């Protein structure tokens, strides 16, 4: 095959150029890796907030309900804006929105570090949520642009970056913030600045090197499904997202409280178990995309929900060792569905990658936020242990997968 590298134009060192061969676009590993790293840094910042909830609860004498409202404001701000960002940029691309959004996150970090009241914590959470809203739909679009047709693999790699950041959040909180107090949140500014630098490089690739990837990296503009199938499938996806993220949110926001109350652990000890759970989520997400590319999205979704149900039922009755084992199993299995759900939804509505990505990530944040507030109120009334017994039934909503139509070829 003729060497195609000889006449390539000079491009920034951060993101090497796309090489297009005769057999079509390829997975641009450097770009998918770059948006995954940016996702890691973005979600690391976000994950620190729930990781320091116990510290904030003690410092400001907050109830579980008030903690839930902090989570709701952050998640709800992000969820409301994401679909609109995606819809707007589907029609009017804004390549520099990625680094600009991270500047907003940087401002939120500074605000959170300096907050001195409950209302200031709420406002700082809202600013961080706005930064997240601008990041996710656009970064997901870039991952798809660089996928070379391996949509599940690219989406999974992108998402595993975020889940890795979420897993590292409690570790960073335990090592840096909990020992030194709230002002140490300011150290997260370095993560935000690093993400801004990476995203400027991604934006340069998008402006100068992404053209070769435009051929055959998306679906056609005509959906292979009729209107009734699309509405039914989107409704089923909504149910699945509800079950997944309410249950995952119970761990993300309240697992430390559960471990402290049930097993009398310290805050720092509980962070280790939360890290194990979130690391399992990252690993499961990484596996879900490539497996979905091979065996089909629907099969992965079935396995994800029904496979986790037995562990969810047993966990509230287990000792500390088995609680850790079941939590890791739940994170590993249930997280495998997200990349499959995102790509499935993108294929339902071709030509609306930004809108669909915004809706999916918006649903994730919105459901997680509403769930966090609701579960916080239930914990105040019935206790945190009762909440985990209640949530054990949520994976059974995975039976809604039966409503998803089987994959079809685009017409």
Q: At residue 80, does pLDDT exceed 70?
A: yes
Q: Is residue 12 part of a domain?
A: no
Number of domains in the chain: 1
Whether 15 is covered by a domain: the verdict is: no
- Write out pLDDT tens, residues 11-29: 344 444 443 344 456 778 8
Q: Are 103 and 45 in contact (CB under 8 A)?
A: no
Average pLDDT, the chain: 81
Whether 10 maps to a domain, the answer reads no
Per residue, the 3-state secondary structure of the chain, as one string, reads CCCCCCCCCCCCCCCCCCCCECCECCCCHHHHHHHHHHHHHHHHHHHHHHHCHHHHHHHHCCCHHHHHHHHHHHHHHHHHHHHHHHHHHHHCCCCCHHHHHHHHHHHHHHHHHHCCCHHHHHHHHHHHHHHHHHHHHHHHHHHHHCCCCCHHHHHHHHHHHHHHHHHHHHHHHHHHHHHHCHHHHHHHHHHHHHHHHHHHHHHHHHHHCCHHHHCCCCCCCCCCCCHHHHHHHHHHHHHHHHHHHHHHHHHHHHHHHHHHHHHCCCHHHHHHHHHHHHHHHHHHHHHHHHHHHHHCHHHHHHHHHHHHHHHHHHHHHCCHHHHHHHHHHHHHHHCCHHHHHHHHHHHHCCCCHHHHHHHHHHHHHHHHHHHHHHHHHHHHHHCHHHHHHHHCCHHHHHHHHHHCCCCCCCC
Mean pLDDT highest for which of 167-171, 190-194, 252-256, 334-338? 190-194
- When pLDDT is averaged across residues 128-142 and rounded to a whole number, the result is 84
Q: Which two tokens stand for residue 172?
A: 């960073």
Query: Is 8 a domain residue?
Result: no
CATH number at residue 239: 1.20.1250.20
Q: Which residues form the domain of 136?
A: 29-403
Q: How far is it, in rounded angstroms, from Cα 361 to Cα 369?
A: 12
Q: Can you give the pLDDT at residue 366? A: 66
Confidence of residue 231 (pLDDT cuts 50, 70, 90): confident
pLDDT (0 to 100) of residue 99: 92
In this predicted structure, what is the pLDDT of residue 145? 84
Q: How far apart are CA 142 and CA 138, in angstroms?
A: 6
Tell me: pLDDT of 54 over 70.
yes
* pLDDT beyond 60 at 215: no
Cross-strand pairs, 270 = none
Residue 3 belongs to some domain of the structure: no
pLDDT band at 314 (very low <50, low <70, confident <90, very high): very high
Query: Is residue 317 over pLDDT 60?
Result: yes
Mean pLDDT calculated for residue range 260-265: 92
Amino acid 174: pLDDT: 84
Q: How far apart are CA 140 and CA 75, in angstroms?
A: 18
Confidence band of 322 (pLDDT split at 50, 70, 90): very high
Q: What is the pLDDT of residues 152-185, one digit of tens each?
A: 778 778 877 887 887 788 888 888 898 888 999 9
Structure tokens given for 171: 């570790």
Q: Is the pLDDT of residue 217 over 50?
A: no
What does the pLDDT read at residue 365? Answer: 62
**Assigned domain for 87 exists:** yes
Residue 298 resides in a domain: yes
Phi-psi region of 27 (alpha: psi -120 to 50; beta: other; left: phi over 0): beta
Q: Does residue 5 sit within a domain? A: no
């Amino acid at each position: 095959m003729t060497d195609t590298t000889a006449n390539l134009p000079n491009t920034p060192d951060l993101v090497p150029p796309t090489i297009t061969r005769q057999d079509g676009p390829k997975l641009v590993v450097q770009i998918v890796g770059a948006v995954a790293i940016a996702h890691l840094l973005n979600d690391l910042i976000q994950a620190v907030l729930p990781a320091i909830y116990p510290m904030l609860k003690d410092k400001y004498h907050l109830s579980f309900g008030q903690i839930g409202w902090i989570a709701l404001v952050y998640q709800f701000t992000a969820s409301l804006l994401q679909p609109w960002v995606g819809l707007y940029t589907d029609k009017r691309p804004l390549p520099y929105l990625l680094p600009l959004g991270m500047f907003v996150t940087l401002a939120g970090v500074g605000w959170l570090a300096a907050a001195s009241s409950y209302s200031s914590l709420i406002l700082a959470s809202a600013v961080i949520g706005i930064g997240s809203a601008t990041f996710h739909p656009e970064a997901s679009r870039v991952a798809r642009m660089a996928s070379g047709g391996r949509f599940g693999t690219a989406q999974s790699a992108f998402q595993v970056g975020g889940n890795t950041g979420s897993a590292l959040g409690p570790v960073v909180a335990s090592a840096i913030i909990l020992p030194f107090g709230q002002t140490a949140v300011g150290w997260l500014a370095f993560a935000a600045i690093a993400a801004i630098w990476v995203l400027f490089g991604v934006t340069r690739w998008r402006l100068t090197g992404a053209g070769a990837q435009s051929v055959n990296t998306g679906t056609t503009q005509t959906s292979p499904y009729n209107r009734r199938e699309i509405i039914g499938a989107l409704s089923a996806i909504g149910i699945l997202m509800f079950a997944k993220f309410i249950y995952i949110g119970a761990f993300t926001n309240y697992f430390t409280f559960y471990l402290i109350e049930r097993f009398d652990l310290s805050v720092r000890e509980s962070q280790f178990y939360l890290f194990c759970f979130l690391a399992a989520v990252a690993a499961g997400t990484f596996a879900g995309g490539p497996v979905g590319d091979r065996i089909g999205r629907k099969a992965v979704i079935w396995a994800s929900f029904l496979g986790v149900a037995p562990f969810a039922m047993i966990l509230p009755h287990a000792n500390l060792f088995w609680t850790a084992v079941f939590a890791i199993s739940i994170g590993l299995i249930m997280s495998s569905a997200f990349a499959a759900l995102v790509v499935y939804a993108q294929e339902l509505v071709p030509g609306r990658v930004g809108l669909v990505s915004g809706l999916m990530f918006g649903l994730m944040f919105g459901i997680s936020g509403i769930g966090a507030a609701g579960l916080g109120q239930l914990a105040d009334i019935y206790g945190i242990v009762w909440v985990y017994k209640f949530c054990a039934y949520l994976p059974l909503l995975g039976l809604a997968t039966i409503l998803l139509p089987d994959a079809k070829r685009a017409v």
